[in-house]
Amino acid sequence: MQTLAQNLTSQAVDASLSQLILTLADTSKAISQAVRHGALAGVLGATEQENVQGETQKKLDIITNEMLKDALKADGTVRGLASEEEDHVVEVSETGQYLVCFDPLDGSSNIDINSLVGTIFSVLPAPTGELSEASFLQQGRAQLAAGYVLYGPSTMLALTTGRGVQMFTLNPETNEYLLTQDAVSISKDTAEFAINMSNQRFWEAPMQTYIADLLLGKIGPREKSFNMRWIAAMVGDVHRVLSRGGLFTYPADNKDPNKPFKLRLMYEANPMALLVEQAGGKASTGYENILDIQPEQIHQRVAVILGSANEVDACLSYHGLDYSQEPDPELG
């Protein structure tokens, strides 16, 4: 089996980008160890701090954020970084070629129940001139690399550098990532979807109708039975989509008109959308392709619908047929 380093070389990935990817991968190994030690290391539970989104930070949120910051500062290729756990962008060097956006521990609400969590990252080119938040506001199609690490029964890395998607598994004996799936491909059709049904009453009409039709199964207009799965960690739900197809969505809702969206564009939606598209799937907000969105700020949130191409199209048809007018202003 190829190691991650060997695979990057075989794909002729630029040396500096390969170095950055290997830095992220090496840091994920240390994060995997921290997650696995859990209560033994006293890293479980919440702090009294909140991040910029007003969410209470878990101890591991802060620990993993600092681990990634320290590693990227030492890497030498990074100009700046943006993180879910940082209020503002962080300047790393004056000469780095890349910007890195990341969610250090996606699904951290799962930490204390020993369920799936992961790290999501996105690499962008660093523009010339003074570093500012505007430097990061690039469309998702500008990403040079994107991926996630899933900390589960085995630690796995999903990666794209624009040449398809590869899966690597961390060998616990050698501490090396080994290529275990090349050219990941998402099936175009599926009978599985993932959504947080507790928010059903707050969704827009198109999503309400779409999910209701899925739940009717063979007796409904889709004439097909569907299964529902929900892990409550985007990294786990998207991993399932990449592994066996499916549709994952976190749609707009009006539970809090000031916060109609849940997932962050720069370090969740964009990297996952690139992975999904590179594997033959589709990713949308319901009204536009995620990778075509022009970001307005680093902590911007968006609705997400991604996965098997034909099923995403089916979901979008509900938005087009049943909601042809402009979206409700309160929902973005």
For residue 106, say whether it is annotated as part of any ligand binding site. yes
For residue 105, say whether it is annotated as part of any ligand binding site. yes
For residue 262, say whether it is annotated as part of any ligand binding site. yes
The whole-angstrom separation of Cα 161 and Cα 145 is 4
Say if CB 202 and CB 331 are below 8 A apart.
no
Helices H / strands E in the chain, number of each: 8, 17
The kind and range of the H/E element at 32 are helix 15-37
Scored b (16 or more CB within 10 A) or e, 176-211 reads bbbbbeeebebbeebbbbbbeeebeebbbebbbbbb
For residue 213, say whether it is annotated as part of any ligand binding site. no
For residue 254, say whether it is annotated as part of any ligand binding site. no
For residue 182, say whether it is annotated as part of any ligand binding site. no
Helix, coil or strand: residue 151: strand
Sign of CA dihedral 237, 34, 178, 22: positive
For residue 61, say whether it is annotated as part of any ligand binding site. no
For residue 132, say whether it is annotated as part of any ligand binding site. no
For residue 255, say whether it is annotated as part of any ligand binding site. no
Scored b (16 or more CB within 10 A) or e, 31-50 reads bbebbeeeeeeebbebeeee
For residue 22, what are the contacts with CB-CB under 8 A and spacing of at least 6? 4, 5, 8
For residue 317, say whether it is annotated as part of any ligand binding site. no
134 CB burial (10 A radius; 0-12, 13-18, 19+): middle
DSSP bridge pairs for 103: 120
- In single-letter form, the type of residue at position 182 comes to D
**Binding annotation for substrate:** 106-109, 196, 262
**Binding annotation for Mg(2+):** 84, 103, 105-106, 268
**Binding annotation:** 84, 103, 105-109, 196, 262, 268
